[in-house]
Structure 1
Amino acid sequence: MAKEATLTVEGQIDEILPDGRFGVLLDNDHRVIVYTAGKMRRFRIRSVVGDRVHVEMTPYDLTKGRLVYRERTPGATPGRRPGAKR
């Protein structure tokens, strides 16, 4: 296996932790602690409990991962919140 190989799995956020970390219950019923990827922090993509997410994990430590994608919620309006500053 290559050194750069990562596993990408899907799950659902079930807990919000301090410092941009989340508890995620994966589809295979394992629970991992993930941190928000840099691009998600840069573009201020917010995640809440119940969101479906994609998580990258290394095969060396299957208890931690990086949150790389939040699936769009059906019915959510695109764009900015009303009254938000730039």
Structure 2
Amino acid sequence: MAKLPPIEQDGIVQEALPNVVFKIALKNGHIVRAHISGKMRKNYIRILPGDSVRMELTPYDLTQARIVHRYKTTE
């Protein structure tokens, strides 16, 4: 059986939790928990509450996500 591709969504960081986990509000009102991707962690990209981010959600569990991009304030 083929693996389903991730679902990409944009959201706004609401709260920083322990162990580099964040609560993120999606545009449709849902709240998901997300962690930073390895490339962002390796390059020391900071995520703060209020930042706009793009994330990948697994189609198997829509409450967990991976942050793959932080938008600049001008984007």
For normalisation by structure 1, the TM-score amounts to 0.81
Q: Which runs of 5+ in 2 are unaligned?
A: none
Deviations 1:23-71 (A, max 9, x none): 0001111000000100000000001000000010111000000000000
> Do the aligned residues in 1 keep the contact of 2:9 with 2:26 (CA within 8 Å)?
yes
Displacement after TM superposition at 1:4 (Å): 4.2
Provide the C-alpha distance between the structure 1 equivalents of 2:26 and 2:64, rounded to a whole number of angstroms: 12
Relative contact order (alpha carbons < 8 A, sep ≥ 6): 1 or 2 greater? 2
Return the structure number with greater strand share. Answer: 2
User: After TM superposition, where is structure 1 displaced by more than 6 Å over at least 4 residues in a row?
Assistant: none
**What is the one-letter code of the residue matched to 2:59?**
P
Q: Which runs of 5+ in 1 are unaligned?
A: 75-86
Partner of 2:31: 31
The reply on whether 1:49 has 2:49 as its aligned counterpart is yes
Larger radius of gyration: 1
Superposition RMSD in Å = 1.3
Cα gap change, 1:2/1:8 in structure 2, threshold over 3 Å: closer, same or farther?
farther
